[in-house]
Amino acid sequence: MKKALPLIFAGAFACPLAGIAHAADLLSVYRDAVTHDAQFGAARATLDAGREKLPQGRAGLLPTIGLGASTIWNETESTRRVNGATAATANYNSNGWTVTLTQPIFRWQNWVAYNQAEISVAISETQFGAARMDLMLRAAQAYFDVLLAQDALATARAQKTATAEQLESARRNFEVGAATITDSHEAQARFDLITAQELAAQNDLTVKGHALQMLIGKHPEALKRLRKGVTMSPPQPADMNQWVEMAETGAATVQIAQASLEIAQREIEKQRAGHYPTIDLVATRGNSAQAYSSTFGAGVDSKAGTIGLQLSLPLFAGGAVSSKDREAVALKEKAAADLDHARRGAALAARQAYLGVTSGLSQVKAYEAALVSSQSALDSNKLGYEVGVRINIDVLNAQTQLYDTTQKLARARLDTLAALLKLKVAAGILGEDDVSAINTMLD
């Protein structure tokens, strides 16, 4: 059985997702997800849209040019009552055009809006960076989920094979009178249970495979696995408080909340600028043509141009400006509270992830020791069964404990790596180098 176990596991790992000789690794899965994941594609489009805030804000500082044109058909009839009535009619066309240029000289709210646009673009960049880190985490989690599902299926198949051998042994012993029918019934019940678990594991692997396929846009290849005996180091720095401090300033949610507070503060300034005067440079150039003029008795063409400064001073707008000022102040207080909440949430996420890593490392060591003990217990129970000091159920229980420990060890290793990625997401420092570092641990 000891020699057969690795072969059973190897076959189970390859069968559901194989079909291609080359095995995919975590880094290639992440890069495929960058290209094909719809959620990340939406984040990329959102970034492109967010960057347009800057030229929109700059437009308030640049001149505007407008062109107006008109053509009008005129029909007039006039009667002069001097020494008799004299009627006169005139039908003619008049047309003209005007070009107007307006250059803001002093519009303080426009400058504030431009500064807000710069901050909005920074928020869009931060959101996209957060989306990239989220994609790394989702790709790794989907990858690990498939590996765990493969482990569960391999464990079920290996345990099924071992239980089948134990069932056959119990039947032979019953036939020769060395055991009771109870041993056969116990082994049969355990075999039926493992068969059901195998079917559930196969279904779970199929579901996890489809989830990975949705992420990378193609049917997943065989996946590389963690090397046996790979060592995982504790997070650096090995101080939870330092990670909390990094999260309170570097987390994407904190940076976005901080930028939103700055926008809210500037919004107060922009609304108060509604009380300030505005000065614009206005220049016009126009031409008008009239086919008939009562003054000249013939058609007239005229051209005109103007240039000057235009001052506008708001006096009263029904209280709207003051109301918007109060609204902006209240929204600034909300933004400050949101920032405080974001910092607390980032600190909590960092603590949870850090404890997840350190606890996971301890669990890995404990399960590695338990795996050795479970193997020894199984060997002892099998030997005791052969010499008659152990019964069949003892061997079956020892087998179950061994396979259960194997599964828990695999999960503990992958959960620890996932917690390490979550820790770096919480601190806002997760990058492709971290994915590459985990990739070096794969076989």
DSSP per-residue letters across 266-295: HHHHHHHGGGS-EEEEEEEEEEEEES--TT
Question: What span, in angstroms and rounded, lies between the C-alpha atoms of 252 and 326?
Answer: 29
- Please state, as a whole number, how many other Cβ atoms lie within 10 Å of the Cβ of residue 422: 22
Which CA distances in Å does 316 have to 48, 160, 185, 394? 40, 85, 93, 91
Positive or negative torsion for Cα 431, 227, 25, 352: negative
What pLDDT was estimated at residue 82? 59
Q: Where are the beta strands (DSSP E) in 183-293?
A: 222-223, 278-290
What are the residue ranges of helices labelled H in 283-391?
320-387
Q: In which residue ranges of the chain is pLDDT below 70?
A: 1-22, 80-88, 178-179, 292-298, 391
Host H or E run for residue 305: strand 300-312
What is the predicted pLDDT for the residue at 90? 73
Q: Which of 134, 179, 177 is nearest to 37 (CA)?
A: 134
* Residues found in the chain: 443
Q: Are 301 and 287 in contact (CB under 8 A)?
A: yes
* pLDDT for res 36: 94
Return the closest-CA partner of residue 211 out of 119, 145, 306.
Answer: 145
* Residue 226 Rama label (left phi>0; alpha psi -120 to 50; beta): beta
One DSSP character per residue, 70-98 reads EEEEEEEEEEEESSSEEEEEEEEEEEEEE
Coil, strand or helix: which one is 128? helix
pLDDT at res. 422: 95
Query: From CA 150, how far away is CA 79, in angstroms rounded?
Result: 103
CATH numbers and ranges of domains, the chain:
4-70+91-439 (1.20.1600.10)
- pLDDT, one tens digit per residue, over 115-149 is 999 999 999 999 999 999 999 999 999 999 999 99
Give the pLDDT of residue 173: 72
